[in-house]
Amino acid sequence: MPIKVEIKSEEDKVKVILHRKKQQPLEITIPFSLAIRRTIDGEILILDHPEIDISILPAKMKVIVFPKEHLDADSYGYADQLFKYLHKKRVIKPESIKSGNVYGSLEATIRESKSDDMDSIQLALMSVALYIQKEKDYLDYTKEVKREMEKRLFEPKDEESTDLGDVPHAEFKGSIVPGLVRRYGQGFYYIYEGKNRK
């Protein structure tokens, strides 16, 4: 079945047409939008994900994932989740996943279609778009939680904060007792200071 992808600049819809033998073509409209750029050598760049950039190389039949600007522990996790999704959809070969020649990047080989009816690059592009659409809710929720935590820290409510001087001074406060030292293998013991503890 050939899959035809029509990319329209003003509309956020991609029309997928499935041709079946001896039957009328079945048209399915899958609404999604992607921020895509094409380089002069034909590489397709997908920049929608906030943590990773996804590159599809039609000439080499590869998908490469690069971390955006900063590299942290989450960048690898996002790339790994993308490749798990693409493997689940049978778009890439799982044995081909390896680190790329750029630090922090991962790459995988796209499966080649044995049929003239299917285009591997179009399927890879559609699968990446569906993955980003699926992840959007999670990423938006994570961003909102982070925003709320920062707001709670920097602009606390009256019942969650105290003004300077509201809490009276005491010699010992909190759960860390001064002079109590943990020594490995010997348990707890006290270092006696010049004063008696109350």
| 61 domain-assigned | yes
In a domain, 82, yes or no: yes
- Residue 86 counted as domain residue: yes
Is the pLDDT confidence value at 121 over 80? yes
Alpha helices in 22-119 (DSSP H): 73-88
Mean pLDDT of 89-118: 86
Please state the φ and ψ torsions of residue 162, each to the nearest 5 degrees.
-130, 145
pLDDT band for position 107 (cuts 50, 70, 90): very high
Mean pLDDT score, 135-154:
88
* Domains contained in the chain, number: 1
22 within domain boundaries: no
pLDDT band at 57 (very low <50, low <70, confident <90, very high): very high
Q: Which of 52-66, 101-115, 129-143, 172-186 has the lowest mean pLDDT?
A: 172-186
Dihedral sign for Cα 154, 160, 166, 172, please. negative
Q: Is residue 48 part of a domain?
A: yes
Range of the structural domain that residue 103 is part of: 33-154
43 against 72, higher pLDDT? 43
Per-residue pLDDT tens for 147-182? 999 998 888 888 877 777 677 777 777 776 666 666
* Contacts of residue 159, Cβ cutoff 8 Å, sequence gap at least 6: none
pLDDT of residue 65: 93
Residue-level pLDDT at 142: 85
Tell me, what CATH number does 105's domain have? 3.30.1360
Percent of the chain past pLDDT 90, that is, above it, reads: 22
8 Å CB contact between 76 and 124: no
In a domain, residue 196? The reply is no
Give mean pLDDT, residues 188-196: 52
Domain-embedded: residue 3: no
Q: Is the pLDDT of residue 12 over 80?
A: no
Please report whether residue 165 resides in a domain: no
